[in-house]
Amino acid sequence: MAENFVAEIPDVSKATFRRNLDSVTITSAAEIRPAAEAIHKIAQSYGFRIAVSADISSKAHLVDAEGELINKDIFGWVAEGERWWEDTRLALSSPLPRACRYESEPIWCNAEGFHGHWQNEYLDEIDLKDFYEAGATAKSAILIPVHLPFGQIAAVSFTPIDYSVTDLSEPYRIFSDFLSIVTSRFVTGYVLAMRKKHRMPTNCILSKREAECLHWAAIGKTDKEISMILSLSHATIRYHVNRAGQKLNSVNRGQTIFKAGQLGYLGATD
The reported pLDDT for the residue numbered 12 is 47
More confident residue, 268 or 168: 168
What is the average per-residue pLDDT within 210-228?
Answer: 95
145 half-sphere exposure, CB direction, 13 A CA radius? 21
**Mean pLDDT over each residue of the chain, to the nearest integer:** 90
Residue 230 has pLDDT above 80, yes or no: yes
Burial class of residue 154, CB neighbours in 10 A (0-12, 13-18, 19+): buried
Domain count, the chain: 2
- Give the tens place of pLDDT for each residue, 13-42: 788 889 999 999 999 999 999 999 999 999
Examine residue 269 and state whether it is found in any structural domain, yes or no.
no
Examine residue 213 and state whether it is found in any structural domain, yes or no.
yes
Q: For 93-212, list the strands marked E by DSSP.
A: 107-110, 113-115, 140-147, 153-160
Residue 266 has pLDDT above 70, yes or no: yes
- Measured CA to CA, the distance from residue 262 to residue 260 in angstroms comes to 5
- Measured CA to CA, the distance from residue 211 to residue 207 in angstroms comes to 6
Kindly state whether residues 151 and 227 are assigned to the same domain. Answer: no
pTM for the full predicted model: 0.86
Kindly state whether residues 162 and 115 are assigned to the same domain. Answer: yes
The reported pLDDT for the residue numbered 193 is 95
pLDDT band with cut points at 50, 70 and 90 for residue 132: confident
Examine residue 203 and state whether it is found in any structural domain, yes or no.
no
Examine residue 202 and state whether it is found in any structural domain, yes or no.
no
Domain span including residue 240: 208-262
Kindly state whether residues 243 and 188 are assigned to the same domain. Answer: no
